Amino acid sequence: MSALKLHRIVAAVCALQMLLWLGSGLALSLISEDYLDSGAFRTERTAPNSDAAKPIPPGALPGDVLEIKMDYLLERPVYRLKLASGNSSLWADTLSPLVLSDDALKQIAAASISAPLTDTIDYVAGDSIGFPDIARVALFKAQTARDTRVLLDADSGAVLAHKDQGSDLKELLLMLHFMDYAPGNGIGFNAWPIRLFALLTLMMVLSGLVSLYQKWQAGYFRLSSGKSATTDLIVEDCQGRELGRFAPRASLLDTINADGDKLPTHCGGGGSCGMCALMFIENPPTPTAADIDKLGQRVEAGMRLACQHGHCGGRVRLISKGQERFWQKHAPSEPAFDKNV
């Protein structure tokens, strides 16, 4: 693959992500914070009297306990135990293990929101909805116009989040902005898609530099001081009849098309359409990677892409009837073609 082709592909990918980054950033700054905030129906928790909590007798704790925190659920105190082997909870007023029924989970969810809940309860795996550390998430729907949902940790009863249309949109925009495309990536500046994008950007710069160097080698960007650079370019039709003489410009394509299109192009000089190919009658310039990629063996006969070479003077010939028709259509003042040939 030529450096120019690689440069184009990588630049297209980078440009797409850049547009997503700009668009999502702009949207995040323009959309009202109130719309993106899913906490409109959220209620404040009030802690119960912790006097009801019993002390845990010595020796009743598992050996691998790392931390104990006091919490509360349904107006009852709860001990949260962080263990080396995982987490568990105890009702602090009875010291019995915390086991939550569907009804209990619904009561917890209902207490966290000021809108009524529907009767449905769904259980989903935590890692499927952005909570990789939670085994089961209990999901309740609230009767609001914003499709509000309450998400609980089904084992501990902790309220994980309230979500609605606004927060869904915010998550989508943040995902696009931070390239958080891999599940469980989290929002951060060191996620692998960001590293990949940085690598692609580096490839774009390097392939662009290589492409520039190849163009410079092909005669682009040279000051018109040398003999070859000041020589006119003579263009012939397929039968060798002179169509015109052209003063030097940056590239052969620019030289011919300076006063209006005479040579067709689809890629605008990018070296990919092959429509600007010409045959050098003598002293063809060194073929570029784009010449070889597009023209193959024909470069040995002297064919070159006009867009890939700086002005080098000399005599060139059109290679197809299509080019002749285009020339005649766009440069009617040039000598008429023999339509019988």
Residues at the contact surface with ligand FES, assessed by CB under 6 A: 253, 265-267, 269-276, 305, 307
Tokens of 332: 């009617």
- Please say which residue, 244 or 269, places its beta carbon nearer to ligand FES: 269
- CB of residue 308 vs ligand FES: minimum separation in angstroms? 7
> Which amino acid is located at 45 in the chain?
R
DSSP state of 54: P
Task: For the CB of residue 251, give the shortest distance to ligand FES in the complex, in Å.
Answer: 9
Q: How far is the CB of 277 from ligand FES (least distance, A)?
A: 7
Between β-strands 159-163 and 303-305, what pairing exists: parallel, antiparallel or unpaired? unpaired
Q: Collapsing DSSP states into helix, strand and coil, what is residue 260? A: coil
| Contact present, 269 and 253 (Cβ < 8 Å) | yes
Measure Cα distances from 179 to 29, 36, 170 in Å. 18, 19, 14
Separation between Cα atoms, residue 334 and residue 245, nearest integer Å: 11
Give the whole-angstrom CA distance, residue 201 versus residue 7: 10
Residue placing its CB nearer to ligand FES in the complex, 148 or 265: 265
Instruction: Find the shortest distance in angstroms from Cβ 174 to ligand FES.
Output: 41
Specify the residue, 89 or 272, whose C-beta has the smaller distance to ligand FES: 272
Nearer to ligand FES among residue 38 and residue 257 (C-beta): 257
CB of 279 vs ligand FES, minimal distance in Å = 14
Give the CA distances from residue 307 to residues 52, 215, 275, in Å, rounded to whole numbers and listed in that order. 85, 10, 10
Decide whether 191 or 307 has the Cβ nearer to ligand FES. Answer: 307
Helices vs strands, H then E, count in the chain: 9, 12
For ligand FES, the closer of residues 39 and 274 by Cβ is 274
Q: Which two tokens stand for residue 127?
A: 């890692």
Residue 56 and residue 208 in contact, taking contact as beta carbons nearer than 8 Å? no
Q: How far is the CB of 269 from ligand FES (least distance, A)?
A: 5
The CA distances from residue 149 to 5, 144, 156, 191, in Å, are 48, 9, 18, 28
Q: Which residue reads 């184009």 in tokens?
A: 8
Type of residue at 44: E
The nearer residue to ligand FES, 93 or 261, going by C-beta atoms, is 261
Closest CB 325 distance from ligand FES, rounded Å:
17
The residue whose Cβ lies closest to ligand FES is 307
